[in-house]
Structure 1
Amino acid sequence: MSKDSNQHQKKKRLTLGSWDEARALMWRYRYRLTLGLAMMLVSNLAGLVLPAMSRYIIDVVVPEGRAEDLLWFAGIGLAATVVHSVIGFGLSQVLGVAAQRAITEMRKQVMTHVSRLPINYFDSTQTGVLISRIMTDAEGIRNLVGTGLVQLAGGVVTATIALGWLFYLNWRLTTLTLAILVVFGITMAVGFSRLRPVFRARGKINAEVTGRLGETLSGIRIVKAYGVERREQLVFTRGAHRLFRNVAKAVTGVSAVTSVAGLVIGVIGALMIVLGGRALINETWTTGALLQYIIFTGLVIAPVVQMSSIGTQITEALAGLDRIREIRQLTTEDEEDASREPLSTLRGDVRVEHVCFEYEPGVPVLKSVSLIAEPGTTTALVGSSGSGKSTL
């Protein structure tokens, strides 16, 4: 019971630590993220122009035959589309560069820390595991300081604006829609909380399988010399199946969330058919109002559905930060040395006086060897093969 409690506390500590790490990253690149968010808001507002014009065009311009106004509205819509596209391209450049810089800096920091770990850590840890920590785990950072998080934030703002307009058009139907979206949001929160350990385990399993495979291939001569090819194949097969089961579990979870999103869209569509159709029949709504309501409902639903993919990416990023933080919490050689008692002043010279040594009794290898190595000097051991250089 105590062991389970300790594991739970460790997992909780690492989870909170990954959030701290994520906040520190976002704060470090706050200016680029702020600029990206501003660009995203302008882009999303430009995307609202066409939906906003739809009601007026259908209810006023077309019935009254004002063909000359269509060119004006078409020009406005085209200009808004150009702004939306250009800002979208600029956004990928601004945040894409920031994300790659963050990945590079994180890799450098992890590499610096790993290189300062005690030598016994490398004896007990596979090389492939360390390579995965340095190169692969840092990749998820792009979802925190890249376009993913900003797209999500911009989508939420756009959805909020669209939701306010939906309440103005029909508050009853909008209330039902919002209730369904809240239930969907809770479902996603629960789903991603269960998927996060799965993604974290995937990185660990992948590192173990890659590490063992790297050691097997780099030492293939030894493997063949001892005739253990079958054993290595079995070890790799077990690891590959562990990875397969983990990926299958993750795919099932993500598919479930995506399926729920599709179900939500279907339910909301059915509500609009029934309630919107009745409002149209009772002439409390115009055709343009119904079309505008459908379009703005899509603007509200789109960010919610987008959360399923972006949420998966952020979950993977936090899992990677968990693993990075775990290795960065290991004590380095410098920190271990700081806890030891300091040595007194040393001269630094080495003296060997009349050293004798025998591997086998009666067969001396070293016979009364003496030498003095002064500080800053280089001493060369010269002799034929078997004369005792390595022994000394």
Structure 2
Amino acid sequence: MDMKKYRSTMKRILGCISRYQWGVAASLACAFVTVILTLYVPILTGRAIDCIAGAGAVDFPRMWKILKQIGIITAITAASQWLMSHINHWVTYRVVKDIRTQAFNKLEILPLKYIDSHSHGDMINRIIADIDQFSDGLLMGFTQLFTGVLTILGTLVFMFSMNPAITIVVVLVTPVSLFAAGFIARRTYRMFKMQSQTRGELTSLVEEMLGNQKVVKAFRHEADAQEQFENINEELRIWSLKATFFSSITNPATRFVNSLVYASVGIAGAIASINGLLSVGQLASFLSYANQYTKPFNEISGVVTELQNALASAARVFELIDAKPQVPEDPDAAVLNNARGEVSLEHVYFSYNPEVPLIEDMNLKVLPGQRIAIVGPTGCGKSTVINLLMRFYDVTCGSIQVDGTDVRHMTRQSLRTNYGMVLQETWLKSGTIRENIAYGNPEASEEEIILAAKEAHAHGFIRRMPQGYDTVISEDGGNLSQGQKQLLCIARVMLCLPPMLILDEATSSIDTRTEIKIQKAFSKMMEGRTSFIVAHRLSTIREADVILVMRDGHIIEQGTHESLIFQNGFYAQLYNSQFAV
């Protein structure tokens, strides 16, 4: 393991725990009470044995008194252990809650570039499985590490007070156990990290295959998907087996050392007892201490192994939390309220990959209320322009202004509030139809929701649903047709009616008859609103005020439908190709 990364991760974890330092202190206090009382019991047990060691000389009154003390101490120890366990769970789950909240909050401010370039399944695995793994390791560390270390130190103190010579024998054998645990720990981190990483790849594949099951079956990709799954699953098996094998060596190795310690104490104690240096009861106490002294090494070695897994998982989560966020907003960023809809692009340059140019020196002036249609072949940059307008991505060079203000100098939330967006790819959340329509305006009244649905021509099919607007739809609207899902997305925008609209192939999944009605609704909705329309079916944009024809990231033609047809250029070729027999 990279020691620098190890220390950094450990420091981050301690920083997260420090918020609950009073809980840690209380846990340590309970652990201290538990260990001290537990270690005091063997002394009482030895004294009780000494009470019955002589033939015909059993001291029953003293023995019963000692047994009562043992009973009281045992009860207090049990209560202390219960309280310590409760506090440990309390601290652990709050630390985990904080980290998971940080990770999810980071998703909210990560740039789309990061989301688009990383596996969604892997990010899900980091927030769910990796944090759960970290939780298990942290809880085990709290529960066993504290008491284990205190037990070792306390046992040494009690043994040293009874017989320093035998205690030195125990101490001399101890480094063997520490060497074994350290040797294994150094080799398990990488394996647990690879196990966690491969598990993320498997989660990503499963999530991708489930989300696109119809496509998988339609293109007969089942066998390839199965083979891909088996390859990753086999890789996960190998790393899991290696991690488990090395970590499982810990227990027998430490048990071997423990047996050496116990045997050493037994032999040295027997010799001391024969020579009159120890009583039989003290020898019994020493053997009990030897057993208690070695037991924490088993637990700590198991904790160390689990902590390696937890650290590997925590490091992956912290990588997500530390990912570079989107460009922060200016402290004095303007808030765009009720935009007039004047949009301008001045010498805009942008590319997803610096080595592959896309949009170069784009200039555009859009007046309030204009309808701007963007057409062109696949990959020409139409959707990229939409991403830049919404500030999902920032321009590499140049500027985009709304009402004379650079969008980089206004808050993202206010900018996006002034846009209504309907995409070709629909998105619906698991919930009722009413909740999905009111997603952008949760305070909308029932009448407003129904009116929006009627204007989007969705009211008819909603009314035929089993519970109408209260019908629960599955994630991404899996129990609706593609056309119905798109109508709900259109109704969502109809409900908000912001001053600027973006329609990216908004009617691509709707039948021709419904499309005519939707186009009329759109015409009404776009009155007085600046609108950007991306379309492949050129018949849907004939009424646009300006049509931008894009090719390879450049605007090569612009004008009205009639003027572009008259030019007989690239637009005319595109338009005529859709009606060629």
* TM-score bin, normalised by smaller chain: 0.7 to 0.9
Residue of structure 2 in register with 1:270 after alignment: 263
Report the aligned-residue RMSD: 3.3
Cα 1:29–1:358 shift into 2, 3 Å: closer
Separation in 2 of the partners of 1:179 and 1:35? Answer: 33
8 Å Cα contact 2:137/2:303 also seen in 1: no
Task: Tell me which protein shows more helix as a share of its residues.
Answer: 1
Cα 1:72–1:234 shift into 2, 3 Å: same
Residue of structure 1 in register with 2:105 after alignment: 112
Unaligned runs of 5+ in 1: 1-7, 361-372
Residue of structure 2 in register with 1:381 after alignment: 522
Letter in 1 for 2:284: L
8 Å Cα contact 2:92/2:135 also seen in 1: yes
8 Å Cα contact 2:51/2:60 also seen in 1: no
Separation in 2 of the partners of 1:44 and 1:84? Answer: 8
Q: Output aligned runs, 1:107-256, within 5 Å.
A: 107-142=100-135, 146=139, 148-149=141-142, 151-256=144-249
Residues 70-100 of structure 1, C-alpha deviations (whole Å, 9 max, x = no match): 2222211111111111121122222212211
Greater Rg, structure 1 or structure 2? Answer: 2
8 Å Cα contact 2:31/2:147 also seen in 1: yes
Task: Report how many residues are paired.
Answer: 367
Unaligned runs of 5+ in 2: 343-365, 378-401, 404-417, 419-497, 502-520, 525-536, 545-581
8 Å Cα contact 2:138/2:310 also seen in 1: no
Letter in 1 for 2:522: L
Cα 1:190–1:100 shift into 2, 3 Å: same
Residue of structure 1 in register with 2:23 after alignment: 32
SS of 1:331 mapped into structure 2: coil
8 Å Cα contact 2:133/2:309 also seen in 1: yes
Residue of structure 2 in register with 1:288 after alignment: 281
Question: Which one of the candidate residues 96, 101, 104 is aligned to 1:103?
Answer: 96
8 Å Cα contact 2:49/2:281 also seen in 1: yes
Question: Which one of the candidate residues 300, 309, 332 is aligned to 2:302?
Answer: 309
1:56 corresponds to 2:47: yes
TM-score w.r.t. the length of structure 2 is: 0.58
Instruction: Give the share of equivalent positions with the same residue, in percent.
Output: 20
Cα 1:391–1:145 shift into 2, 3 Å: farther
Cα displacement (A) at 1:148: 2.6
SS of 1:284 mapped into structure 2: coil
SS of 1:334 mapped into structure 2: coil
SS of 2:277 mapped into structure 1: coil
SS of 1:332 mapped into structure 2: coil
Cα displacement (A) at 1:108: 1.1
Cα displacement (A) at 1:147: 5.9
Cα 1:80–1:225 shift into 2, 3 Å: same
Task: Tell me which protein shows more strand as a share of its residues.
Answer: 2
Range moving further from structure 2, 18-27 or 165-174: 165-174
Residue of structure 2 in register with 1:3 after alignment: none
Separation in 2 of the partners of 1:92 and 1:41? Answer: 13
Cα 1:97–1:258 shift into 2, 3 Å: same
Letter in 2 for 1:274: I
Separation in 2 of the partners of 1:282 and 1:354? Answer: 105
SS of 2:523 mapped into structure 1: coil
8 Å Cα contact 1:202/1:243 also seen in 2: yes
Residue of structure 2 in register with 1:72 after alignment: 65
Cα 1:36–1:353 shift into 2, 3 Å: closer
| RCO higher in structure (CA 8 A, sep ≥6) | 1
